[in-house]
Homo-oligomer: A and B are copies of this chain.
Amino acid sequence: MLPFTFYSPTLFAFGENAEAQTGQLIRRFGGSRVLLVYGGGSVKRSGAYDAVTASLREAGLPFAELSGVQPNPRSGKVYEGIALARQEKSDFLLALGGGSVIDTAKAIGCGALYDGDFWDFFTGKAKIEATLPVGTVLTIAAAGSEGSDSMVITQEAGNLKWGAPKTDVIRPKFSVLDPRFTCSLPAYQTACGTTDMMAHICERYFTNPPDVGLTDRLCEALLKTAVEAAPRAIADPNDLSARGDLMWTGMLAHNNSCGVGREQDWASHQIEHELSAFYDCAHGAGLAVVMPAWMEFVMDHDIARFARFAVNVFGCEMDYAHPERTAREGIRRMRAFLRYIGMPTSLSDIGARAEDIDAMVAHRAEKPNGFPFGGFVKIGPEEMRAILRLCDR
């Protein structure tokens, strides 16, 4: 077990009608003037917008609004939000939405207190030292940004989809998790979110060192819950038990509860960022394509671990004479599960083309410290090309 620091100071208010606490929570964490950040019409149709703004009014909190955040959130909206937060003298950011909205709010929070370009935090030119406090009201179980120390923004100049260095500074002060707000999600988005949270766990599970018994078991507990709950939520979108399981699993998958005591990998995420930068596919959809291919590419480095995954998550029988068969069967079932919930599993499924592989690798190389990446197996340009070729099925 490697040394670690675990710090997850976010307050989570979970359950039906938890959003009625939003105004009080903002007061508790020191807010008095709110910038409300959200996407499009879905939060208005679902009733989330009305419920949250009612809570703000009840707490006597004035608020300005920044709407129109899109999936794979873009820098333009961050610049707009920074200007608005300064103009309105906002001292608290409330993100109402999923990972894209939350990451936009996190970036605004850091940028509003910084004299330079917020993108400096992503390039490494500046270090995040402070932020306006951020709270969230979650509307999709997926990215885990509601409890995480990370954010991903696409810089429009250059089409660079980059993550900022992880820092506890940007963890939200609170997150409201009302499973009802996720009931209106289409099946496809529910599946994308499930894939995203499973990938967050796998990035922490398939790596070194092996002797982290509890972390392994926690990862398996989350993976099994996702595999069990997602089909229920897709079959009956109003199954609040399944929606609640997914919502809580998505948070725990990324607040690092399941990542302590070992290295982490994150290679699949890095490769996927190029897919969504090139094709603007949903992050979860890109991960469904990349992750099983990455697993095939690296499994020989730790057959026992991939076999354990097959047995403990997907119920395979252990083939003690040929553990590599068990390992391979686990990957096959993972891909079959993703297809079952409606995910793409090949480049062509998301409109990507094998001819672009070299361009994606070259684009990655432009990033500071672009290669190699990956904590479990080092991925250089050649390995990235090979993994993307395995996605071309």
- Nearest Cβ in chain B — how far from A180, in angstroms? 12
CB nearest to A168 among chain B residues? B11
Q: Are A214 and B3 in contact (CB under 8 A)?
A: no
Q: Are A217 and B224 in contact (CB under 8 A)?
A: yes
Complex: A245 Cα to B260 Cα, angstroms:
11
A59: CB under 8 A from chain B? no
A259: CB under 8 A from chain B? no
Q: Are B241 and A260 in contact (CB under 8 A)?
A: no
Which residue of B4, B14, B244 is within 8 Å of A6 (Cβ)?
B14
Q: Are A241 and B5 in contact (CB under 8 A)?
A: no
A279: CB under 8 A from chain B? no
- Nearest Cβ in chain B — how far from A24, in angstroms? 12
- Nearest Cβ in chain B — how far from A46, in angstroms? 19
Q: Are A5 and B13 in contact (CB under 8 A)?
A: yes
CB nearest to A225 among chain B residues? B214
A124: CB under 8 A from chain B? no
- Nearest Cβ in chain B — how far from A58, in angstroms? 19
Complex: A221 Cα to B213 Cα, angstroms:
9
Q: Are B14 and A260 in contact (CB under 8 A)?
A: yes
Q: A217-B224, A221-B220, A225-B214 are in contact. Are A9 and B6 (CB under 8 A)?
A: no
Chain B contacts for A11, CB-based, 8 A: 5-7, 9
Chain B contacts for A229, CB-based, 8 A: 213
Q: Are A221 and B225 in contact (CB under 8 A)?
A: no
Chain B contacts for A245, CB-based, 8 A: 1, 213-214
- Could you tell me how many residues of chain A have their Cβ less than 8 Å away from some Cβ of chain B? 41
Chain B contacts for A5, CB-based, 8 A: 11-14
A55: CB under 8 A from chain B? no
Chain B contacts for A13, CB-based, 8 A: 5
Enumerate A273-329 residues with CB–CB distance to B below 8 Å.
Answer: none
- Nearest Cβ in chain B — how far from A270, in angstroms? 27
Chain B contacts for A80, CB-based, 8 A: none
- Nearest Cβ in chain B — how far from A254, in angstroms? 14
Complex: A179 Cα to B5 Cα, angstroms:
14
Chain B contacts for A244, CB-based, 8 A: 1, 261
A122: CB under 8 A from chain B? no
Q: Are A12 and B3 in contact (CB under 8 A)?
A: no
Q: Are A211 and B8 in contact (CB under 8 A)?
A: no
Chain B contacts for A12, CB-based, 8 A: 4-7
A228: CB under 8 A from chain B? yes
A218: CB under 8 A from chain B? yes
Which residue of B1, B15, B220 is within 8 Å of A4 (Cβ)?
B15
Interface CB pairs A-B, < 8 A, 30: A1-B14, A1-B241, A1-B244, A3-B14, A3-B17, A4-B12, A4-B14, A4-B15, A5-B12, A6-B11, A6-B12, A7-B10, A7-B11, A8-B8, A8-B9, A14-B260, A14-B261, A211-B241, A213-B228, A213-B229, A214-B222, A214-B245, A214-B248, A217-B220, A217-B222, A217-B225, A221-B221, A248-B260, A248-B261, A257-B257
7 nearest A-B residue pairs (beta carbon): A3-B15, A217-B221, A9-B9, A7-B11, A1-B244, A214-B225, A6-B12
